[in-house]
Structure 1
């Protein structure tokens, strides 16, 4: 299976972490800080996107469904199909909150907010 832009589905997490993320307008909205893995389904729950803040102070972390990120070679980063306003209004978390409840609370809120079909049904 390939992504919408034709990339394969296998990639090392170490290549993903630190990669820039852009919105639909081409604005750099942050970077991938981590990925949360679903050990029960052997899939990726969500990407942890950090944006805002300075040197980690005031930075907000967002759980973005992995399936909506599309790598764009020309930008050297991932593009999400959301506006800046949608991203700013999205649920945000501390790093500890992202993994609380086995990550399911952040996952469920993210998939609901972005209206992405859940992979776990």
Structure 2
């Protein structure tokens, strides 16, 4: 089954990981490093987006609500509707912190920070 925009509803995580992420000004801001799954609700808690850094050093990881990512085929990546200032000021984590407290702390903080309606409501 496809969505209204013609995309399929299912996608392999291996196709998502490594995909570029752009801001609304078409500037590449990072890439998807991982996705965190909610095993109890079968939902995607958030995408782990890596911003900045060089060769893995100094990179910040952000929990971005999955529903905020819009895949744009022409870009070959996802676009987020956030300003550069919002992204720079967003909560950042280490990879291990993203899964702490079963991921709920990062999940809740990201949905609150970006003003995205939580999927579990």
Could you tell me the TM-score, scaled by structure 2's length?
Answer: 0.95
Find the residue that maps to 2:112 and give its secondary structure. helix
Mapped to 2, the partners of 1:119 and 1:40 lie a distance apart of 13
Partner of 1:113: 113
Unaligned runs of 5+ in 2: none
Partner of 2:3: 2
Partner of 1:102: 102
RMSD: 1.2
Unaligned runs of 5+ in 1: none
List 4+ stretches of structure 1 deviating above 2 A: none
Q: Aligned residue pairs: how many? A: 120
In the TM superposition, residue 101 of structure 1 has moved relative to its aligned partner by 0.2
Q: Deviations over 1:64-104 (max 9, x none)?
A: 00011111011100001011111000000000000000000
Mapped to 1, the partners of 2:76 and 2:103 lie a distance apart of 28
Q: 2:62 aligned with 1:62, yes or no?
A: yes
Find the residue that maps to 2:75 and give its secondary structure. coil
Mapped to 1, the partners of 2:27 and 2:61 lie a distance apart of 17
